[in-house]
Chains A and B, each alone.
Chain A
Amino acid sequence: MQLTQLMRELGGLQVAKLVVIFCQVFFASSNIANAQIAQPQLVYAGFAFEGDADNRNFRYPHVADLHQKQPDLIRTQFLNKLNNPANASVKQKLSLNEANEKHDPIMVAFALTQETYEKQVINGQHWAIVVLQANVLAFNNSSSSVVGSYPVRLRLVRTFAQDPTQDDIKRIVREAFTSTNQNENIIDLWLNKLATVSFRNAAIKRIRVINVNLAKEAKDYLTKSKVNESTLKSSVASDIEISLSSKAGIPLLPNTVGEAIGNSIALRFSDKSIQIKIPDADYEIYFAIRGFASATTDSNNQLTDIFRVKSNLTIKIGGEDNSLFNEDMYETKFLTRPKSVSLQLDEWTQYRKTLQEFILALGTQLQNPQDEWLIEHASKGSDAKQSFNKAKTLIQELK
């Protein structure tokens, strides 16, 4: 029915009522829009270091140094890529100017969360391994609270004839932001992740890694091996986030394992610092390392090193004692090598890798449990299937 025809049929009084109703509906819907029910726009917030300002040089020594010496480098790299992204959907998804947006937008920051460097000597070659991790971190500007985050990780490996110098490491870190190879550039990885994910403000369920516990057996080993417990906990929490995000495809609230402030995170941009609140998680993840074990077998001309890491994963409803998921698991790694090859294997490095591989596989299994994997990794074997199926349902609800 045409509006004019409707008006004629209803007459003056009814039209007045209609106008009132229209206004009520209009204003009510405006309020709802204000309350951020509508799908908000994404606005680029910038490059930021996550965490307390005082810890920046300690947590990100090489990126902080690069940022300090060439403050415009990372910003320029970002702007160039944002203006001409390899993935066209990024440009549609992400605005560079908050002022252009009519509704309260979701801000998206590149939040650097981790920088690690390790070296290994294999057959006389010096391997330098630099790992950078960052979050595609979405937050609500008006309420300064986290909407969700998807982590990305870049691992760059370079070999040297001699022990790499500080300048060598700095060069690798620089390449992580400037490389033309998309797979070796963390800005590209971040943009590619952004292109594939979505953020919702409203009725989304939230999950967060709350803590990484160490059983006495694990603690004793770490003390003996002079491994920093706090750093390990924080790093394992990041591994779990990466696994659940990349393998199960879900956003998480950022963890603050190992940090003093539990319910907010600081973001240090080049021109300002902000603190954003982390809302309460609906589901809480607790990971435990139960212990480490190793053995070496000798057969013919080969040596086989066996490394096992024992763990537990528990998922609880926030604030509730009962757990939705509570399974003991383990991962075993076999490293076979000819006796003739000179290989300096660091025991802790192998445990750490075993743990990382396990956590990465765990994300896949929580999304789609396989009997074979459960038999080999779950302490209850295939009896753990019911728990994993429950976790699978939860993962679906979190997407």
Chain B
Amino acid sequence: MNLRKISQLIIATALFASGTSTWAERVEIRGIGNVPFEDSVFSGEKEFNAAKQKAIQEAKKNAWKNFIAKQNSALQQVISKNESSFFNSLDDFIIDVVVIDASKDQVNKTVKVIARIVFNDEPISRLSQKLSVGESGQAGKSSGSTFSFIFMARSQAQIKQFDARRTEVRKATAASTVDADGAVTAEAMTQSGGNTLMKADEVVYTATSNQDLNTAMGEILSSSAGIEYVEYDDVVSNCNGIAQKSFQNEYATSDEMSSKTRAAIISALRQCDIRYFSTGTIDTLMPTRDPVTGGLQIYVTARAQLWDISGKLPRKIGSVGPKQFSAVGAKTEIAGKNALVLAAKETAKALVDQLNSKGIR
């Protein structure tokens, strides 16, 4: 599978993932339409209604432009390349048109319509997949996939905070001046200053179960878009990869694995014909109380890198973060899981954006 295919699959993943939730998402956008209208003795309600209908069509077009502007860059690129196909299907994307106001503007001689246009993002996602992957691509159903990932879920075990160290400097000087009449005036001066030294917190992490994280990423990669990735555990058992347990301690105080470990992993991945490899960390921070809901709020920080390991030297072709996500729950476990799943899914989507911005398609 070539790079073009993989990037198409990942693009399709993101597009499909956003459009295959249990319930299609309603996206409401306000649109304004203005069409020329000459108000004269000959123009009655019929003429006004005709102008209003034209203005509604204008409002739909403007709302569509606003809708595109709010999408991620992956979808924007697909729409931009297939502008007419999307535009011709506009009415299939629109669920509701709520006309909020339709009025004659006597000064500018126009009919102005303000409308709330409700889009259903599911047909938009479907058309995007069709146009980016092709109908036969079945949203990236792959065979002989060459993609694998290792993400480390970590939680803060210990935070060492340092007090600010203040150094005060005082300097006392004495000066004397001789006046014209020979009198001597003595002056004592004290100058003070100093500096404050701040030291960053030292954080120690412990690796936690990757199960939730892998499931969440797998949902994006496999269930939603049909990318058949290879679990790293299978690389370990089939291609002499090093077990995650043996290097997870490296993540206790560092955000990256050592170069030696990475080389060993890449070597095993190559043996298994893996071409694209993603690695990263998702760190769960200490819980805080959410003042709005009263529940526990947990923040997670995600960072990821995407590598092309087909050449002699691995090439980093994308990276994400660090980005923060948060979730609230009645218990620490619930809030933590929610935040972790959210971060895993959003990280996958962000990787797609990175690929797209580099023109890898």
Name A's B-contacting residues (CB within 8 A). 31-32, 34-37, 52-54, 56, 104, 142-143, 202-205, 261, 266, 268, 271-275, 279-280, 282-283, 317-320, 324
The docked-state distance in angstroms from the alpha carbon of A319 to that of B295 is 34
B294→A54 contact, CB < 8 A: yes
Contact of B23 among A36, A54, A273, A283 (CB under 8 A): A36
| Chain B residues whose CB sits within 8 angstroms of the CB of A204 once the complex forms | 98
Min Cβ gap A195→B in Å is: 27
> Can you pick out 23 interface pairs between chain A and chain B where the beta carbons lie within 8 Å of each other?
A31-B120, A31-B122, A34-B122, A35-B120, A52-B292, A53-B292, A53-B294, A54-B294, A142-B23, A143-B26, A268-B294, A272-B330, A273-B292, A273-B294, A273-B328, A274-B293, A275-B293, A275-B328, A279-B28, A282-B98, A283-B100, A317-B100, A324-B101
A143-B26, A205-B98, A275-B292 given; name 10 further pairs at CB < 8 Å: A31-B122, A34-B122, A52-B291, A52-B292, A142-B21, A202-B96, A268-B293, A268-B294, A280-B30, A283-B100
**Residues in A neighbouring B23, C-beta threshold 8 A:** 34-36, 104, 142-143
B2-46 vs A, CB cutoff 8 Å, 1 = contact: the mask equals 000000000000000000011111101010000000000000000
CA distance A273 to B328 in the complex (A): 9
Q: Is the CB of B293 within 8 A of A53?
A: yes
Residues 113-127 (chain B) with a chain A CB within 8 angstroms: 114, 116, 118, 120, 122-123
Residues of chain B with a CB closer than 8 A to A282's CB = 98, 100, 116
| Among A32, A203, A319, residue most surrounded by chain B Cβ atoms (within 10 Å) | A203
Bound-state CA distance A266–B290 (Å) is 11
A279-B28, A317-B114, A319-B30 in contact; A53/B291 too (CB < 8 A)? yes
- The distance from the CB of B70 to the nearest CB of chain A, in whole angstroms, is 14
Please count how many residues in chain B sit with their CB below 8 Å of the partner chain's CB atoms: 28
Asked if B243 is an interface residue, CB under 8 A from chain A, the answer is no
Q: When A54-B294, A268-B294 are in contact, do A35 and B95 touch as well, CB less than 8 Å?
A: yes
Please give, as numbers and ranges, the residues of chain A lying within 8 Å of B97 by CB-CB distance.
Answer: 203
Instruction: Name B29's closest neighbour in chain A (CB-CB).
Output: A280
Q: Which of B22, B25, B28, B98 has the most CB of A within 10 A?
A: B98
Which of chain B's residues have a CB closer than 8 A to the CB of A142? Answer: 21-23
Name the residue of chain B whose CB is nearest to the CB of A279.
Answer: B28
**Which B residues touch A273, using CB under 8 A?**
290, 292-295, 328, 330
A54 — which chain B residues lie within 8 A by C-beta?
Answer: 291, 294
CB-nearest residue of chain A relative to B122? A31
A205 closest partner in B (C-beta): B98
Contacts of B26 in A (CB 8 A): 35-36, 143
List B contacts of A271 (CB < 8 A): 330
Interface residues of B in 83-116 (CB under 8 A from A): 95-98, 100-101, 114, 116
List B residues at the A interface (Cβ < 8 Å): 21-26, 28, 30, 95-98, 100-101, 114, 116, 118, 120, 122-123, 290-295, 328, 330
Residues of the A chain whose Cβ atoms lie less than 8 Å from the Cβ of B291 = 52-54
Q: How many A-B pairs fall under 8 Å by CB?
A: 83
A356 to chain B, nearest CB (A): 30
**Which residue of chain B has the shortest Cβ distance to A203 in the bound complex?**
B96
Q: Which residues of A contact B290 (CB under 8 A)?
A: 53, 273
Whether A34 lies near B24 (C-beta < 8 A) is yes
Docked CA distance A271–B331 (Å): 11
* Cβ-closest chain A residue relative to B100: A282
Contact of A320 among B114, B116, B122, B293 (CB under 8 A): B114
Report Cα–Cα, A378/B294, bound state, in Å. 45
Complex CA gap A299/B120 in Å reads 70
Given A202-B96, A275-B293, A279-B28, answer yes or no on A317-B101 (Cβ-Cβ < 8 Å).
yes
9 shortest interchain CB distances as A-B pairs: A53-B294, A273-B293, A142-B23, A203-B96, A35-B24, A282-B100, A35-B120, A266-B292, A104-B23
Q: Tell me, in angstroms, the Cα distance from A383 to B26 when the chains sit together.
A: 42
User: In the complex, how many angstroms separate the beta carbon of B353 from the nearest chain A beta carbon?
Assistant: 24
Pair A143/B25 contact, Cβ less than 8 Å: yes
Q: Tell me, in angstroms, the Cα distance from A54 to B295 when the chains sit together.
A: 11
Known: A280-B30, A283-B100. A202 touches B293 (CB 8 A): no
Q: Which residues of A are found within 8 Å of B295, using beta-carbon distances?
A: 53, 272-273
Contact partners of A56 in chain B: CB under 8 A = 294
Chain A nearest CB: distance from B275 CB in Å?
Answer: 36
Shortest distance between the CB of B18 and any CB in chain A (Å): 14
| Chain A residue with the shortest CB-CB distance to B116 | A282
Given the complex, which residues of B lie within 8 Å of A317, measured CB to CB? Answer: 100-101, 114
B328 contact set on A, CB distance < 8 A: 273, 275
Partner of B100, one of A205, A266, A272, A279: A205
Alpha-carbon gap, A201 to B28, bound state (A): 12
A318 cross-chain contacts in B, Cβ below 8 A: 30, 100
Expressed in whole angstroms, the Cα–Cα distance for A272 and B294 within the complex equals 9
Contacts of B95 in A (CB 8 A): 32, 35, 37, 202
Interface contact B292-A261, CB-CB below 8 Å: yes
A261: which B residues are within 8 A, CB to CB? 292
Q: How far is the CA of A27 from the CA of B275 in the complex (A)?
A: 38
Closest to B119 in A: A35
Give the chain A neighbours of B24 by CB distance below 8 A: 31, 34-35
Closest residue of chain A to B28 (Cβ to Cβ) is: A279
A324 nearest in chain B by CB position: B101
Alpha-carbon gap, A317 to B112, bound state (A): 13
A92 to chain B minimum Cβ distance, whole angstroms, is 24
* Separation of A53 and B294 alpha carbons in the complex (Å): 5
Question: What is the bound-complex CA distance between A261 and B290, given in angstroms?
Answer: 13
Q: Which residues of A contact B96 (CB under 8 A)?
A: 202-203
For B21, list chain A residues within 8 Å (CB). 142
Question: How long is the Cα–Cα vector from A142 to B24 in the complex, in angstroms?
Answer: 9
What is the CB-to-nearest-CB distance from B95 to chain A, in angstroms, rounded to a whole number? 5
Least CB separation from A37: chain B residue: B95
Across-interface contacts of B293 in A (CB, < 8 A):
53, 266, 268, 273-275
B330 touches A203 (CB 8 A): no
CB-nearest residue of chain B relative to A142?
B23
Shortest beta-carbon distance, B337 to chain A, in Å? 15
How far apart are A251's CB and chain B's nearest CB, in angstroms? 15
- A2 and B97 CA atoms in complex are apart in Å by 37
Closest Cβ of chain A to B25, distance in Å, is 7
Which chain A positions have C-beta within 8 A of B294? 53-54, 56, 268, 273
A282 to chain B: closest residue by CB: B100
Q: Say how far A107's CB is from chain B's closest CB, in angstroms.
A: 13
Verify B123–A31 contact, CB threshold 8 A.
yes
Question: Within the assembled complex, what's the spacing in Å between the Cα atoms of A36 and B122?
Answer: 13
Name the residue in B26, B101, B114 with the highest tally of chain A Cβ atoms < 10 Å from its Cβ: B26
